[in-house]
Structure 1
Amino acid sequence: MACRVLFVDDDAALRNSTVQWLQLSGFDVAAAENAEAAFSIASASPPDIVISDVRMPGSDGLTVLRHFTDADPTLPVILVTGHGDVPLAVEAMRLGAYDFLQKPFEPEHLVEVIRKADDKRRLMREVIRLRSLLGGDENLAGRLIGSSAQAVALRQKIAALASVDCDVIVMGETGTGKEVVARALHDLSRRASGPYVAINCAAIPADMFESELFGHEAGAFTGARGVRVGRLEYANGGTLLLDEIESMPLPLQAKVLRAVQERQIERLGSNQSIPLNLRIVAATKEDLKAASEAGRFRKDLYYRLHVGEVVLPPLRERSEDIPLLFLHFASEAAHRHGRELRPLDKDNIAALLRHDWPGNVRELRTAAERFAIGLETPAERLALPAIGTTEAWLPAQIAAFEREMIAAAIRQHDGDMASAAKALGIPRRTLNEKMNRLGIGRRDITQQASG
């Protein structure tokens, strides 16, 4: 859909010539001779970009600027003057003008400024849409980001498990977000006010493991000078995450099994039992059932922990979420580093979709941060061997991306095509045309969502 430009200038000759040039450059252009006419045109057909002369009879360009930026802060307003007034330019930029051009301007330069402004507008509106979709930190959709069927099912599973007080095994490849899931299970449960304690089983030396989990009394062993509360006891009333539990030494697994079954422990060097009231979340990148059958993990501990299970899909299996996740992480990084977020063009989206992301969400977050601070684009970072010709490959990937985004929007809005088109930022007619061209069936999508 062509960018809609509203050009406001009281000079009829300049207005007509500029309109013709912009139309030849592919823009949808409306013209007004003064501010009042511009406001009337905009109320009937809202523009994407406004270009206004500063010095006009009646309301001036600063009035135009204030009117449009007050109504929509994401709308770029470009001001033009023939007076070279530096203080005026400073005031215009302070009030939120996107750019300030001096007459006579080069038509090619104006086109370039408009295109950059339109890119920024689209990006700002997408960021706003994502933030409204994701919600706050306490919102599950704000933690487990994605609109794919897998992401929706994952959020539903976590919400269901958070409402019951059972132990859970979370399984997924490295970087898929197992600790994010564990934290969500805690924060959305009735134990949210209690402690959340995480322990990485792969990072603790075998000879310190028992003391780390169960604690010890003074004199329990050489060097035990005082009482130490173990992680199990410290997590009382809350949640304990045993990350990379497949790395836990087999002899210790028997003691952990007893603590899980009886919900009580004894510190090393003590005969006093300490009752436990906690949820245990065990995270693993290995199939614990297969590991138990192979003798690498205790079967009885596996079955005792395996009350609830969450299996995290790798990022390559929910590729439609990749651009959404990338933009979210890039937006966060840009804000953190005080940078302006750059638009993500089709070549970079294609690079994101082409990569298989062996490091999953963790790898994607790193790529997004490097993009946000200007180190490299996804296309530069993810340079891969060619698959056929670029001409044959890129359109296919773009079509796949469009197909995934449209299907996700329709699922999200329960088949309401008008709402889906609005969320995608395209007219209903354009959505229908794209669905026909891409072979997307509304019924198939809604049946997939309900299934």
Structure 2
Amino acid sequence: MLNSVIVVDDEASIRTAVEQWLSLSGFSVQVFARAEECLAHLPQHFPGVIISDVRMPGMGGLQLLERLQADDPDLPVILLTGHGDVPMAVEAMRSGAYDFLEKPFTPQHLLGSLRRALEKRQLVLENRRLHQQADLKSRLETTLLGMSQGLQQLRRQVLELAGLPVNVLIRGETGSGKERVARCLHDFGPRADKPFVALNCAAIPEALFEAELFGHESGAFTGAQGKRIGKLEFANGGTVFLDEIESMPLAQQAKLLRVIQEQKLERLGANQSISVDLRIIAATKPDLLEEARAGRFREDLAYRLNVAELRLAPLRERREDIPLLFEHFSRAAGEKLGRPVPALPGAQLAQLLAHDWPGNVRELANAAERHALGLGAPNSEVAPAGHSLVAQMEAFEAQCLRAALRQHGGEIKAVMEALQVPRRTLNEKMQRHGLLREDFVARG
């Protein structure tokens, strides 16, 4: 139950009395003598109720109500009125005030009105939270594509971790989408409006690594003309994505560890520390602890980076996502080129499902673009990877079910008619492939 209350009244005796009543009843209370002070200290999405006198020097209670309503029409405001202000307070309730109390009022009257207002506020905030979660989930589904159980679990983990102030380590093969996941962790979290800085540790020459990360002052080394802001300092307030972190030189690992621990850095050639607020998301192919045991990575840094870990399954482990991804990349390429995309025959779809995709999603995207260009059948140059007929048929069956569910918006009866299967058989197959009707119902 919410218990935050702000009281605004220019009379010190009323402020003190109300504060005492409410504090003894278990409420968290802030008091202000002027409406202007209340507005200056009011947090965004305040999870409570405002109690305000109507007549005050400067901005009165009705003006305060108007300002509060403009920012948040659902914020409950209880007005305290003198006898002559009752008609005015009634009019204010028509404009959005939650309630008004005529002075003098009893503690019981105040507490009753306040508790009802807080209950309403709690329902409003919970409803907003649920709508926000649904919106984020919908947006994430269009960013991290796939209906496999692994992808669904990954999206749940991303939504959970995006809002937490912890460093994340992403493990996955080349081309599996590590930077896209890192970007989602940033975009769906509280740092979304701050910089997202991506750095590939394997692509930076060791001699330039320190200057790239930490920046330098003028004359710090030969060729250092002018001051330069490093990547870490530039990302202040936001997120730094360090791809192929296992390639970072050991000397720079020690300095990165210090930045993580102290939230401070020093430019090359400088004597003054600069405070930074950073979230580090690192990506790696090998196990960093195994790299540490081999002497190629600092064990203490590995633990600092791996507060939470996300593993991205290679495409060969989630074959049921291949047709959806191929369709997406083909359509995007067709739109970019301004030309229709040729249909994909069943034999070529089977070929897609059979291939092992060592380059993962990146390789699949390339094949889809070639298909959109009409440059031959996707992966016609590679033979099927030797998977059993049963495995290929299972993957194809899952794709057919998914396509029918998507086409008919999750309407089971329509799917039964389209695929010509009885209800029990359809239910068994959907359960075996981890398909839920709710995931295909069109959202309003």
TM-score tier by shorter-chain length is 0.5 to 0.7
- Give the C-alpha shift of residue 289 in structure 1: 1.8
Change (3 A) 1:420 1:158: farther
Identical columns (%) = 50
- Give the C-alpha shift of residue 434 in structure 1: 9.0
- Give the C-alpha shift of residue 369 in structure 1: 0.3
Q: Does 1:432 align with 2:422?
A: yes
Q: Does 1:267 align with 2:267?
A: yes
Counterpart of 1:419, as a letter, is: E
- What SS class does the counterpart of residue 378 from structure 1 fall into? coil
Cα separation, 2, equivalents of 1:420 and 1:378:
32
Q: Is the 8 A contact 2:233 2:276 kept in 1?
A: yes
- Give the C-alpha shift of residue 277 in structure 1: 0.7
Change (3 A) 1:420 1:162: farther
Cα separation, 1, equivalents of 2:136 and 2:331:
15
Counterpart of 2:292, as a letter, is: S
- What SS class does the counterpart of residue 185 from structure 1 fall into? helix
Counterpart of 2:429, as a letter, is: I
Runs of 4+ in 1 over 6 A off after TM superposition: 135-138, 385-388, 407-410
- What SS class does the counterpart of residue 420 from structure 2 fall into? helix
Change (3 A) 1:420 1:368: farther
Q: Is the 8 A contact 1:407 1:440 kept in 2?
A: no
Q: Where do residues 15-26 of structure 1 align in structure 2 (5 Å cutoff)?
A: none
- What SS class does the counterpart of residue 422 from structure 2 fall into? helix
Change (3 A) 1:421 1:315: farther
Per the alignment, residue 355 of structure 1 pairs with: 355
- Give the C-alpha shift of residue 172 in structure 1: 0.2
Cα separation, 2, equivalents of 1:369 and 1:434:
39
Q: Deviations over 1:154-202 (max 9, x none)?
A: 0000111101121111110000000001111111111111111111101
- What SS class does the counterpart of residue 289 from structure 1 fall into? helix
Structural RMSD (CA): 3.2
- Give the C-alpha shift of residue 292 in structure 1: 1.4
- Give the C-alpha shift of residue 381 in structure 1: 3.8
Q: Does 1:419 align with 2:411?
A: yes
Counterpart of 2:207, as a letter, is: D
- Give the C-alpha shift of residue 400 in structure 1: 3.6
Q: Does 1:397 align with 2:392?
A: yes
Counterpart of 1:140, as a letter, is: L
Q: Deviations over 1:195-228 (max 9, x none)?
A: 1111110111111111110111111111112101
Cα separation, 1, equivalents of 2:423 and 2:324:
24
Change (3 A) 1:340 1:222: same
Cα separation, 2, equivalents of 1:154 and 1:207:
37
Counterpart of 2:270, as a letter, is: S
Q: Is the 8 A contact 2:168 2:309 kept in 1?
A: yes
Q: Is the 8 A contact 1:253 1:298 kept in 2?
A: yes
Cα separation, 2, equivalents of 1:379 and 1:297:
38
- Give the C-alpha shift of residue 430 in structure 1: 2.2
Q: Deviations over 1:258-282 (max 9, x none)?
A: 0111110011111111001111110
Matched residues, number: 303
- What SS class does the counterpart of residue 429 from structure 2 fall into? coil
Q: Does 1:373 align with 2:368?
A: no
Cα separation, 2, equivalents of 1:409 and 1:276:
51
Q: Does 1:147 align with 2:141?
A: no
Change (3 A) 1:140 1:229: same
Per the alignment, residue 298 of structure 1 pairs with: 298
- What SS class does the counterpart of residue 139 from structure 1 fall into? helix
Cα separation, 2, equivalents of 1:230 and 1:209:
10
- What SS class does the counterpart of residue 380 from structure 1 fall into? coil
Change (3 A) 1:403 1:188: closer
Cα separation, 1, equivalents of 2:280 and 2:288:
16
Cα separation, 2, equivalents of 1:185 and 1:431:
41
- What SS class does the counterpart of residue 259 from structure 2 fall into? helix
Per the alignment, residue 198 of structure 2 pairs with: 198
Q: Is the 8 A contact 1:147 1:408 kept in 2?
A: no
Cα separation, 2, equivalents of 1:178 and 1:387:
27
Query: Which one is further off, 289-298 or 156-165?
Result: 289-298
Cα separation, 2, equivalents of 1:429 and 1:347:
19
Change (3 A) 1:278 1:399: closer
- Give the C-alpha shift of residue 288 in structure 1: 1.0
Q: Is the 8 A contact 1:146 1:325 kept in 2?
A: yes
Q: Is the 8 A contact 2:201 2:242 kept in 1?
A: yes
Unaligned runs of 5+ in 1: 1-134
Q: Is the 8 A contact 1:146 1:152 kept in 2?
A: yes
Per the alignment, residue 240 of structure 2 pairs with: 240
Counterpart of 2:396, as a letter, is: F
Change (3 A) 1:190 1:445: closer
Change (3 A) 1:417 1:367: closer
Cα separation, 1, equivalents of 2:306 and 2:178:
16
Q: Is the 8 A contact 2:354 2:385 kept in 1?
A: no
- What SS class does the counterpart of residue 274 from structure 2 fall into? strand
- Give the C-alpha shift of residue 255 in structure 1: 0.7
Q: Is the 8 A contact 2:257 2:304 kept in 1?
A: yes
- What SS class does the counterpart of residue 199 from structure 1 fall into? strand
Q: Deviations over 1:391-412 (max 9, x none)?
A: xx4x8734541145537988x9
TM-score, L = length of structure 1: 0.61
Unaligned runs of 5+ in 2: 1-134, 439-444
